[in-house]
Amino acid sequence: EAGVTQSPTHLIKTRGQQVTLRCSPISGHTSVYWYQQALGLGLQFLLWYDEGEERNRGNFPPRFSGRQFPNYSSELNVNALELEDSALYLCASSLGVNQPQHFGDGTRLSIL
Amino acid sequence: GNSVTQMEGPVTLSEEAFLTINCTYTATGYPSLFWYVQYPGEGLQLLLKATKADDKGSNKGFEATYRKETTSFHLEKGSVQVSDSAVYFCALSTQGGSEKLVFGKGTKLTVNP
């Protein structure tokens, strides 16, 4: 069974630019989650999508947004990039509410 | 609010030593508890879980017991291997549809041959 896949694996951007990260969940999983793992800040919850709808959002500014497609894959968009957005962005998927989350290997975003 | 506190690392052990990584939590309601492991350059892998008090999660020789009275979920392994070197995260998920994992800061384990 293929796991959660994320693309790209690495990305370098400059301040003010926009970026889109992509995630494909495990087959059969309908929920997708996004987390940010920044140096010194640990793992922070960003967004949760289920059945195409945003269900919960972490304490991040509105320039962090995303969506989930009918095939349950998801995108995370970050506008007006700032230096502190440099981090590993992890996507996870699950079968639904109260089910364990399974993570991809992440996208490492570096802002210059 | 909900939070997870893990013992500070790094932890360095010799092969075949006994491992304990302490984890305590604060949560409203009855959370599910998890241990995740992150190997260098990779994402997180679910190591084990427990969904109610006194449940014991186990996998690959690792164990953790959900202790409601002490709000703890300590990770243990009787004999560690070099391949266990990684960062270990304790996490909780609350009921009620919030569905976000709250993580501890992680504990880096290095096992020397």
Size of interface A-B (CB pairs under 8 A): 59
Chain A residues with CB under 8 Å of B95 CB are 98
Cis peptide before A100 (omega within 30 of 0): no
- Give the best residue of A9, A50, A101 to mutate against chain B (max B CB count within 10 A): A101
Can you give the pLDDT at residue A100?
Answer: 87
Integer Cα distance of A28 and A92 in angstroms: 13
Q: Which of B43, B95, B103 sits opposite A42 (nearest CB)?
A: B103
Give the tens place of pLDDT for each residue, B61-86: 999 999 999 999 999 999 999 999 99
Predicted confidence (pLDDT) at residue B100 exceeds the cutoff of 90: no
38-57 of B, contacting A, C-beta below 8 A: 41-46, 49, 51
* pLDDT score of B81: 97
pLDDT for B91 beyond 70: yes
> Contact A18/A79 with Cβ under 8 angstroms?
yes
Interchain proximity B101–A43, CB inside 8 Å: yes
- The mean per-residue pLDDT over the stretch B30-52 comes to 91
Pairing of strands B62-65, B75-77: antiparallel
Average pLDDT taken over every residue of chain B:
92
pLDDT attached to residue A96? 82
Q: Is B35 on the interface with A (CB under 8 A)?
A: no
Residue B1 pLDDT: 83
Nearest neighbour of B100 by CB, restricted to A4, A56, A103: A56
Q: Using 50 as the pLDDT threshold, list the residues of chain A that sit under it.
A: none
Give the distance, in angstroms, between the CA of residue A35 and the centroid of all CA atoms in the same chain.
Answer: 6
How confident is residue B95, by pLDDT bands cut at 50, 70 and 90?
low
pLDDT per residue as tens digits for the range B10-19: 999 999 999 9
Omega into B10 within 30° of 0, i.e. cis?
yes
Of B46, B89, B106, the CB nearest to A102: B46
As a whole number, mean pLDDT of residues B91-100 equals 76
Q: Binning pLDDT at 50, 70 and 90, where does residue B96 land?
A: low
Per-residue confidence (pLDDT) for residue B41, from 0 to 100: 83
* pLDDT of res. B62: 98
Query: What residues of B are in contact with residue A57 (Cβ under 8 Å)?
Result: none
Shortest CB distance from A103 goes to which of B32, B44, B102? B44
Strand-strand pairing, B107-112 and B11-14: parallel
| Alpha-carbon distances, residue A83 vs A26, A57, A63, A80, A111 (angstroms) | 31, 22, 14, 10, 5
Q: Is the pLDDT of residue B98 over 80?
A: no
